Structure formats: structure tokens, C-alpha cells
Structure 1
Amino acid sequence: MSLIDDVVRRIPQPYRDIALRHNELIKFAIVGGTTFVIDSGIFYTLKLTVLEEKPVTAKIISGVIAVIASYILNREWSFKNRGGREKHHEALLFFLVSGVGVVLAFIPLYISSYVFDLRVPDVSLTVENIADFVSAYIIGNLMQMAFRFWAMRRFVFPDEFARGGVAGSTDVEPTPEEIAEEELGHS
């Protein structure tokens, strides 16, 4: 039993049904939060050290590393019941879709940095870092997230129950109270 399953079991009805219905989206968002921490940690480490003059390069490197972590987490957790493709085709499509996502994430940063010149010495280091965060992590990640969730379900993991899932199910087992309610309803 996972922590997520335990949390879902404690959600009151009818919200539990909504959480179960959007189980993949919730898990995708948790994976996204995890990879956000990976991405931003690597990005700022590189940007503030060895790639100080090359923020777009730092973003591409951090994005690629985050995508690798995302593939593993999404395949084995978020979309674990989906499939429909041979593993090597699935991986290729995942990385192609994620590559588009990386591009979507750095386009706002590129515009902020090189079109609007929000770089030191034209602006303060604080303004540069705020502009980088807003453009790369808020605008860019929102664009990337919406595209990737749609494309993952549509192209990468197209068959919802290919790996043994059951319609409307999650790993959450019913509580004794739910079992009793079900038995009373059928008597």
C-alpha cells in the first residue's frame, strides 16, 4: 500500500471518486513536482556556477536529466497500467515528446533572456533570477506540462489497460466499512 493510496482512501466521498477518476493526472503532477525539484536544483547549480553565462544551456541540461527521471517515474508509476507499444518504441516516443516539452520550457527563458535582455548588466541579478524563474519554471513548465500529459496519454501510453489495469481502478483496496456497505447494498 503506497502513501498515495492511503491518502486517497481517506478522502471523503464524492471527492474520492474524483481522485480515483483522475488518478493518472494526480500521479503525473506528483512526478512533475519531483522532476521540478530535480530540474530547478540542477539548473540553478549550473547557472550560478559553471554555466553562469549560458542559462539556456543550463536549462537544457537540467531538463534532459529531469526527463530521464520523469520517464522512469511515469512509466513505473503514473502510467503503470498503460502501454500498447513495445518498450523501445515507448521510450523513443517518450523522449521525443519530452524533447518537445524541453523546448517549450526554454522558449520563454530564451525570450526573457535574449529578446527582453533581462540579463546582468542590463538588470540586477535579482531581476534576472526572478525573470528566469518566472519564464522557465512557471510559464515554460505550464506549457510543457499540459502538452506532455496530453501527448503521453495519446501517443506514448495509448492503451489504458495494456499492463493489467482495470477500468476505474487504482491500487486502493476498499476499507472494511466500504466492504460492509457493498454487502448490505446487495442483500
Structure 2
Amino acid sequence: MNRFTRLAPLIAQLAKFGTVGGVAFIVDISVYNLLRLTVMPDYPIGAKVVSVIVATTVSWLGSRYWTFKEGRNDARVREAFWFFLINAGGLGIAMGCLFVSHYVLGFTSQLADNISGNGIGLVLGTAFRYLMYKFVLFRAAPEGEARGTHRTEDERVERSA
């Protein structure tokens, strides 16, 4: 088996992740800037929270039903809870970048807010989310174990003994 054949599934998954992320990014940027230009001109953090919630919903649907469909579990509510919790971590990263830029460094223009929250924060938050999705939330079930069953290591050892 050549190196490309082994990497092909990972490359395909990364391409899907990037596509879903690109769509969610457009939703995030669009909602954020629409809110800043209309009902939340003086609330960059609040606008970011709302835009990320909307974009996270789009991202969950794309991740669950397309990017990581082989790793999703049957417990949709639990999966959605953890997905949104992981995305809260990504939001925290983006908000931290925005907060430092806007309130600590004093870069208060809409362009500066977009660069810090939607540029730097996006890159750092995306890396965090991908790793959490792949290795925690949407990991494939171990061979012989049904998806949607979350067993502890002790339960796996007991079951195999």
C-alpha cells in the first residue's frame, strides 16, 4: 500500500472539514458584520457570540452528516451537547483574540475586529475544533463495538475478559 493510498481518507476528511468550515466561516462573518452594522454596532463581543452560535449550528450539521459521518454516534442530543461545548472552546479562543485586540490593545475599528476575531481567532479555533472532533467527538467506534456506546476502559477490559 503506497503512502498516498493510506493518506487518501485523511486528505478527503480534511477537504470535507475545510468545506464545512468555509461555509460556517461565511455564515459567521456575514452574521457578525450584519449585526455590527445594524443592531449591535457597539457590541463586538455580543455580535461574535451570536454569529458563532449560528455558524456552529451549520457546522454541526455538516460535520455530523458529511465530514465525520462514519464516527457519529446514535445519541444525537449528547453529541450535539459536546459539539457545542467544543465550539464554545473555539469561540473562547476567537473571543480572547478579539478581546485582547479591541479592549487591551485599543484596535477598535471593524477591520481590526475582523482580523483579530475572524482571522487569528479563526485559525487557532479551527485547529482546536478539528483535533477535538477527530480524536474526541467523532472518533470511530473500536472494532466490534456499536457506535453510540460509550464504554469506559474498565468496561472494555471486563467485556473482553
**TM-score class normalised by the smaller sequence:** 0.7 to 0.9
Residue aligning to 1:158: 139
CA distance in 2, matches of 1:93, 1:85: 13
Match of 2:33 in 1: 44
Letter in 1 for 2:13: E
**2:37 counterpart of 1:56:** no
Distance 2:114 2:4 in 1: 33
Equivalent residue for 1:26? Answer: 15
SS in 2 for 1:159: coil
What is the RMSD of the two structures over their aligned residues, measured on CA atoms?
A: 2.1
Question: What secondary structure sits across from 1:83 in the alignment?
Answer: coil
Change (3 A) 1:81 1:132: same
TM-fit CA distance, 1:133? 1.6
Instruction: After TM superposition, give the deviation of residue 109 of structure 1 in Å.
Output: 0.7
Aligned to 1:97: 86
Task: Please say if residues 74 and 80 of structure 1, whose CA atoms lie closer than 8 Å, have aligned partners that are also in contact.
Answer: yes
Amino acid paired to 1:159? A
Aligned to 2:155: none
Structure 1 match to 2:117:
136
Once the two structures are TM-superposed, the CA of residue 48 in structure 1 deviates from its matched residue by 1.2
Larger of the two Rg values belongs to structure: 1
C-alpha displacement at 1:137, in angstroms? 1.3
Contact 1:84-1:158 at 8 Å conserved across structures: no
State the TM-score, normalized to the length of structure 1: 0.70
SS at match of 2:70: coil
Query: Is structure 2 residue 149 aligned with structure 1 residue 149?
Result: no
The amino acid of 1:73's aligned partner reads: G
1:87 match: 76
Letter paired with 1:114 = Y
* Count of residue correspondences: 143
Match of 1:69 among 58, 63, 74: 58
Q: CA separation of 1:33/1:160 partners in 2, compared to 1, >3 Å: closer, same or farther?
A: farther
In 1, Cα distance between equivalents of 2:52 and 2:5: 33
Are the aligned partners of 1:93 and 1:155 in contact in 2 as well (CA < 8 Å)?
A: no
Question: 1:53-93: per-residue Cα shift (whole Å, max 9, x none)?
Answer: 00110011000100011101100000011124622221111
Q: Deviations over 1:107-133 (max 9, x none)?
A: 1111111001122xxxxxxxx122112
Q: Distance in 1 between matches of 2:120 and 2:112?
A: 11
Unaligned runs of 5+ in 1: 1-13, 120-127, 164-187
Q: Secondary structure in 2 aligned to 1:22?
A: helix
Report if aligned partners of 1:108, 1:135 keep a CA contact under 8 Å in 2.
yes
Partners in 1 of 2:27 and 2:118 — Cα distance?
12
